[in-house]
Structure 1
Amino acid sequence: MLGDNDLCMKSNNCISEKINEYRSEVETMIQGFQRQILEQEHKIEELKNSKERELDTLFKDLLSVVDAYEKAEARLDEQYSDNEAVIKAKKRFSTSKKKLMEILRKNGVSEIQFPDGYAKMDDCQIVETEPDATKENDTIISIEKAGFRRNGRLLRLADVIVVKN
């Protein structure tokens, strides 16, 4: 027959075992929840990236509209620079282009700048070269098509003409 001390010891061991079982179950559940949280965070990040890519595509398309404005402006300047009606129409085009550029700017789209005047291959592509002994190689002579970034991400490289001696 078991004495009171033996029964108490068995009971304590039983309680201790049950506590350990429950602790193990709780830890397993916590790990499962943590895994689910990580999976959900990953899905959220993927959705954000997907939406950003979609927006980048939209803004690239809008940049083609800006290009069309610039081409139309250049043609009007070449062919009808002294026609008063065309000059007024060009001003209206210019206003529309400015509004579009403001929308792009508000959404983090900015034109790539070349403050030192040199071509950087991660910001532009060289479309033509010209010799000029008075300037260093890779000095930008002209920007044929502006490049743009959105929130630091490249949307479009600038097309440039540079010096190549």
Structure 2
Amino acid sequence: MTGPSGAGKSTFLEALVGLNVSARNSLSLDGTCVSRLNAQAHLQLLRYCPQSPQFLEGSFDRSVLFGIAPSPALNQAIQRLDLEDIVSQRHLTENASNVSGGEAKRLSLLRLINRPGRFNLFDEPSASIEPKTGRPGVGFAFRHLRRAGIDLCDTRCRPLAPF
């Protein structure tokens, strides 16, 4: 989806993923209203990589993974997204003020790689990421999701061009 800044792209994605409380009663997946999904079912269906990711205060396991067990692909993803230092040494703040915007974005991609949903929405996935890690990191994330059998589509549901 493309459009000028301020056109509502992020707001639209937030409504689709169910973050907009007023839209949750109007959004349904497979005939089930999103507002009636419990947290576990919601995470299995909808995952979102926002422009400005938020984290829980704490260690990597708590802050980024929300206590969810690491997937077999997690260690490779940590290396490919150049996140070894953050994962092993940093305590994250809730507003991610102790990491750069690019690091926060890569951590958000890592969260999604660890536990993708049936529908995965990305809001400017390479925004704020340094050029040397941006395209390769996002490309790795998308290739990983494709290998896992997860389709990535544009707004007309055409497959995204390979990275």
* Shorter-chain TM-score range: under 0.3
Larger Rg: 1 or 2?
1
TM-score if structure 2 supplies the norm length?
Answer: 0.21
Per the normalisation by structure 1, the TM-score is: 0.21
